[in-house]
Structure 1
Amino acid sequence: MKKYILLFIAIAFLSGCDKDTYNNNNKYLPNYNFSIDIDTNLPLYTPLQFTANPVRISQAGIGINGIIVMNTGSGYTAFEASCPNQALSSCSGLTLDGINVVCNCDNVSYSLFTGLASTAVQYPLKPYRVQVVGQNMIRVYN
């Protein structure tokens, strides 16, 4: 009987886990599938070899308005380059500001380490998956 109770508790616990933290159900930002391999030996991406040097990638088909990738010192983060709390428009792009990005529509600042805003907002930055492939290759995908 105790085995069944433990099994029930384990199933209940595991079913409550969020299996897809990268699909944040943001009503402003659609989920587009993409994948990009980034070679950090290339001059455009060499800042990613060092901590706290974000790179914006605005290649067509990568994210909605591009992506922003940063080496955090313990790994990499990648976020959508669109304001997470604004409908897509001409002002909804993010501007790099050191280790933060700022939404051009409402001037809210977001950390590229955590994706969280400096003020209370509904949505954090939209994260993308990052996989280190080899010594100098990073794959970012949704």
Structure 2
Amino acid sequence: MRSLLFIASFLLIFTSCKKDEGVDDDNPYLIDPLVNLNLNLNLPEYNPLRFPGNSVVINQQGVKGIVVYNVNNELYTAFDLSDPNHTPNSCSRMTLEGIIATCQCADDNSYDIVTGQHQSNENLYPMQQYLAQRSGNNILISN
């Protein structure tokens, strides 16, 4: 009986997971640009990603740039720097201070780059997330 319960629980969890977990495909403000990057940690511009708590901004990728954050050397996050609650415009590119990305538009939306969630209103769209996987000394960013 115990093993049957374990198998049923495993199947429920396994079938409920999506491949692109965390990515919100229903955001009417942002397009889903093709992203397929390989960041070599041996290169000086990506060296900060070798250490937990550091991030790197990759310009001219995604909608308004992509921020990649090292959570713990095994888990990395990657989010678009375009405010997900605005149509891309001159003020919607977010700036970073620590782990907080802030929009420069009048509403001052701010998001956590570890989770992608809005800092004060959970009903707003989260940041557009990309898949980030480490393989040896490379971090693969894709969607």
TM, length-normalised to structure 2: 0.81
- Corresponding residue for residue 114 of structure 2: 113
CA RMSD of aligned residues (A): 2.1
Match of 1:88 in 2: 88
Pair 17,94 (structure 1): closer, same or farther in 2 beyond 3 Å: same
Q: Which whole-Å deviations, capped at 9, do the CAs of 1:98-132 have from their partners, x for residues lacking one?
A: 11111111212211111111111420111100121
SS in 2 for 1:90: coil
Q: 1:23·1:31 contact (CA, 8 Å) conserved in 2?
A: no
What percent identity do the matched residue pairs reach?
A: 40
Residue in 2 that maps onto 1:72: 71
Partners of 1:17 and 1:137 in 2: how far apart? Answer: 25
| Large movers: runs of 4+ above 4 Å | 16-19
Stretches of structure 1 that go unaligned for 5 or more consecutive residues are: 1-6
Which runs of no fewer than 5 residues in structure 2 stay unpaired? 1-7
**TM-score, length of structure 1 as denominator length:** 0.81
Flag the 1:32–1:40 CA change in 2: closer, same or farther, 3 A: same
Distance between the aligned counterparts of 2:52 and 2:63, measured in 1?
25
Which residue does the alignment assign to 1:133? Answer: 135
* Residues 24-75 of structure 1 deviation map (CA, whole Å, 9 limit, x = unaligned): 321111111120100112111111111111111003xx21111000001141
